[in-house]
Amino acid sequence: MTITCGIDWAENHHDVALVDENGRLVAKRRIGDDAEGYRQLLGVLAEAGDGPEHRIPVAVETARGLLFACLRSTGRKVYSINPMAVARYRERHRVARAKSDHADAVALANILRTDADLHRPLPADSELAQAITVLARAQQDAVWNRAQLNNQLRSHLKQYFPAALAAFHVRGIGLDSREARGVLAAAPEPMTAAKLTRAQLRSLLRKSGRQRNIDTWVERLRAMLSGDCLHQLPLVEQAMGRQTLALVAQLDAACRAADDLAAAAAEAFAAHPDSEIVSSFPGIGPLTGARVLGEIGDDRSRFRDARALKAYAGAAPITIASGKSHVVHHRRVKNQRLAAAGYVWIFGALPSPQVKEQYDRRRARGDKHTAAMRNVFNRLLGCLHYCLTTGQKFDPARAFPALAATSEPAAT
């Protein structure tokens, strides 16, 4: 008898339901999100026939938390079903739109009973690959948080301290730089900044880590911070300065977190066996490689072919055809983290002649910048899938055979 299990996730408890091949309810239980609840879950599965030779598959909506991490470590197949798909399955049996946690658990179990082949189980990634995923995602979140705080600080300074924006509006130097954070932390108000001496500015720049062109920067900051400018009312300006100190402290913490997590992700990525293959691609450094490997994992059975990986990353176009209507556009439902890493990847790979030629060819055909970048990403993803499957490093002559043929000298 084939048994499938569905678990409706909640913050403090979970509803478990097991059904047989005919859809009859075999067992149900509400368990806690703790060690005792995990033991109860294993007991329910064991009573239904779960064993080392036959693991009962489990369907959940959100596979997160310690309980599901332990459940995955048992070697069974765990399916993470999209909540929108669960809602559609629920409507197949109930038109009154009645909803309960137990009914959702039964619906999840029935999804595996009827359509398990149409859903993909969670990948069986190695422990190191899962660690890379955690570090890469945390670093990516820290970078996004840093950008958000940087924009908040910029908008705030524009209201009362525009000279600070102009002083650090230099290529490679922004409000999130160590120099800007150091100066703003010492002088968050225009009046205080205007009184900074050259010796004080020189000391702040050195403490921030700057070693070159210190005197040039001192004169630049001195001229711009002491110039004539508009002011808010004194008490209002002081209050806005206190807000600047709070934003700078948050931005400083976000910058340090992003740097520390980047170093940890790069170190973990270098220890993975697939790092040599991933790093052989143009435009991929340690951090970008950690993000790409963290999202695709090292389970070779996760993607059936290169097309599945391209669709997962949002690089492959999607076709919508109905009657006389036929539209092809880019995918909006995708792994946003992998798509973001792919844009950074291709941007760094543009100096490669083969990649640049492919990009220029797409632009010549009428593609906009984003569409051309997505096309190159689509092609390199296919090459990455092939290289990881066969254990080969990237070869530009095989990836871009047309360009390699044209670059060969003519025979005499």
Q: What is the mean pLDDT of residues 202-230?
A: 90
Write down the pLDDT at residue 406: 53
pLDDT tier at 242, thresholds 50, 70, 90? very high
Query: Please, what is the Cα angle at 15 between 14 and 20, to 5 degrees?
Result: 140
The alpha carbon torsion through 320, 322, 324, 325 (nearest 10 deg) reads -30
Nearest to 13 by CA among 75, 114, 102: 102
Residues ≥6 apart with Cβ < 8 Å to 59: 4, 5, 6, 7, 78, 79, 81, 108, 109, 111, 112, 119
Q: Give just the sign of the alpha carbon dihedral 165, 168, 173, 178.
A: negative
Q: Alpha-carbon distance 287 to 269, whole Å? A: 8
How many angstroms from the chain centroid is the CA of residue 379?
20
Residues ≥6 apart with Cβ < 8 Å to 319: 326, 327, 328
Backbone angles phi, psi at 310, to 5 degrees: -65, -40
Q: Decide: 56 and 5 in contact? Cβ < 8 Å.
A: yes
CA atoms within 13 Å, Cβ hemisphere of 229: 22
Q: What percent of the chain has pLDDT over 90?
A: 67
Q: Give just the sign of the alpha carbon dihedral 290, 256, 243, 182.
A: negative
Q: H/E/C letters for each residue in 330-360?
A: CCCCCCHHHHHHHHHHHHHHCCCHHHHHHHH
* pLDDT tens track for 355-384: 999 999 999 999 999 999 999 999 999 999
Write down the pLDDT at residue 405: 53
Backbone angles phi, psi at 9, to 5 degrees: -85, 140
Residues ≥6 apart with Cβ < 8 Å to 267: none
Helix (H, G, I), strand (E, B) or coil at 20: coil
* pLDDT tens track for 54-78: 889 999 988 778 888 888 888 889 9
Q: Alpha-carbon distance 243 to 236, whole Å? A: 11
Statement: residue 93 has pLDDT above 80: no
Specify the CATH number for 4-122; select among 3.40.640.10, 3.10.310.30, 2.60.40.1120, 3.30.420.10.
3.30.420.10
Q: Which tokens belong to 32?
A: 């806690």
Helix (H, G, I), strand (E, B) or coil at 321: strand
pLDDT tier at 274, thresholds 50, 70, 90? very high
Q: What is the mean pLDDT of the chain?
A: 90
Q: Decide: 272 and 128 in contact? Cβ < 8 Å.
A: yes
Write down the pLDDT at residue 293: 96
**Buried/exposed 12-27: b ≥16 CB within 10 Å, e otherwise:** eebbbbbbeeeeeebe
Write down the pLDDT at residue 411: 41
* pLDDT tens track for 143-194: 999 999 999 999 999 999 999 999 988 887 889 999 999 999 999 999 999 9
- 């792994």: which residue's tokens? 335
Q: Which tokens belong to 252?
A: 């400083």
**Buried/exposed 298-309: b ≥16 CB within 10 Å, e otherwise:** beeebbeebeeb
Residue-range domain boundaries for the chain: 4-122, 131-267, 276-407
pLDDT tier at 404, thresholds 50, 70, 90? low
Q: What is the pTM for the complete model shown?
A: 0.86
Using CA atoms, how far residue 283 sits from 10, 339, 345, 372, in Å, is 42, 15, 5, 16
Write down the pLDDT at residue 409: 46
At CB < 8 A and 24+ separation, what contacts does 38-47 make?
Answer: 38/67, 38/70, 38/71, 41/7, 41/14, 41/16, 41/67, 41/71, 44/16, 44/18, 45/5, 45/18
